[in-house]
Amino acid sequence: MSQKDPCQKQACAIQKCLQANKYIESRCEDVIREMRRCCAAHAGEESVCCSGFAKDQKTETERKT
């Protein structure tokens, strides 16, 4: 049996926030930041929820260099 995704709670919070705010990302920066923290904390684990965030963090890091 598969284990629950460690960042599923944060992923659901993002969806709820975006729906409540007509998909305006700037209104959900706090929950998106929490998702990034969760994905960073669980980087070595298999996480379907973090798959897009891992790619996003690499791009963000590349822009800074």
Split at pLDDT 50, 70, 90, the class of 57 is low
Backbone CA torsion sign across 46, 50, 51, 56:
negative
Q: What is the pLDDT of residues 2-52, one digit of tens each?
A: 568 999 999 999 999 999 999 999 999 999 999 999 999 988 777 888 988
pTM, entire model = 0.73
CA separation, residue 27 to residues 34, 39, 56 (Å): 14, 20, 19
Distance separating alpha carbons of residues 17 and 29, to the nearest angstrom:
10
Q: Pull the structure tokens for residue 37.
A: 């923290």
Spell out the domains of the chain, with CATH numbers in brackets. Answer: 8-64 (1.10.287.1130)
What is the residue type of 13?
A
CB 13 within 8 A of CB 54: no
